[in-house]
A and B are shown apart, each in its own frame.
Chain A
Amino acid sequence: MASKDQVIEIIHKVAAAIEREAQFLTDLDNAIGDGDHGINLSRGFKKVEEELPVVADKDIGAILKKVGMTLVSTVGGASGPLYGTAFMKAGDAVKDHVSISADDFIAVLEAAIGGVQLRGKAEKGEKTMLDAMLPALDAMKAAGTADAKAMLDAGVKAAKEGVEYTKTIIATKGRASYLGERSIGHQDPGATSFTVMLETIAEAI
């Protein structure tokens, strides 16, 4: 599906996408959270871009781990430990790899989601990033790994539906939970940022 160089290129593209969507993500977070999601993630990925050349000669696992550690150190909000743990666990799933297959990508996403669940202790239906992540993983598994592009497109479609679903439910996790029923009608910023990342990956493959 992707060589190491392509993975590095995709991380740069993800950073650019987060930068492009930073204001939108922050606006979403302003409505139901503490209004830092886009700003924080953008700061984190800027640092990631600075750090990427340092690990360019390492394997994909080490590169993803570095992305995670950088996000933990620089983001500052909940998305730091959540995406940080996700990327670090993703790195463990492709340790020593210099390329990744569609099957590897499923393993990467599964590990990343496991990391988010471990760190955030959230479940499906709590209006979090998991509401985009879990349906995306299910859809990609269902699509099968024979055609990586089709698999990713199925994942993006499901993630977008997951984002729409977050508009219909009450937040019971994170800062948005303080709003209770008033959180209905707003889409979750974390589910949205995950979808931006997955869509960027899908477009690059």
Chain B
Amino acid sequence: MVGIVIVSHSKTLAEGVVEFCRVMAAEAPLVAAGGMEDGSFGTSFERIKAAVESVNQGEGVLVLMDVGSAVMTTEMVLEDIGDDTVQMVDCPLVEGAIAAAVAAEGGLDFAAVKEEALSAWDARKL
């Protein structure tokens, strides 16, 4: 299955998004990379890299981020890994994560899971 990593400055926010996704997709390879090593606020290169490696089953990994350094630090991790099938996806974090997790658990391929995450842009609430 395609792996999914949730990157946030906040440990609890990242874990919360994962918790939310698990309700819909209990089996998806999904992991949180929130906060710093010591649990404080921020984004950690090492935590993100370890998270990506932990969910990589060889079918690709999508990384969803909150803002600012979450994007920049993830970008540096991906440059370091240098694998085309490990990519960031620019989408609303919660909605995109749910869509991607359900798609990954359903066995969709990398491109399709990414497309599902991007479809969150069109999921209007009002």
Contact = CB atoms under 8 A, between A and B. Distances in A.
**A and B from one complex:** yes
A84 B69 CA distance: 12
Contacts of A125: none
Contacts of B9: 34
A77 B45 contact: no
Q: Is the interface of A mostly helix, strand, loop or mixed?
A: helix
Given A76-B36, A175-B67, A40 B42 contact: yes
B73 A80 contact: yes
Given A76-B36, A175-B67, A82 B42 contact: no
B44 A76 contact: yes
A77 B76 contact: no
A73 B45 contact: yes
Contacts of A76: 36, 40-44, 69
Interface string B65-87: 00111001101100000000000
Interface residues of A, number: 19
Contact of B68 (A72, A73, A85, A174): A174
Contact of A72 (B36, B45, B67): B45
A81 B72 CA distance: 6
A143 interface: no
B59 interface: no
Among A40, A73, A76, A175, which residue has the most Cβ atoms of chain B within 10 A? A76
A120 B9 CA distance: 17
B27 interface: no
B75 A75 contact: no
Given A77-B69, A81-B73, A36 B45 contact: no
B67 A82 contact: no
Interface string B37-60: 000111111100000000000000
Given A72-B45, A73-B46, A78 B69 contact: yes
B89 to A, nearest CB: 17
A40 B43 CA distance: 11
A165 B124 CA distance: 40
A39 B46 CA distance: 19
A78 to B, nearest CB: 4
A157 interface: no
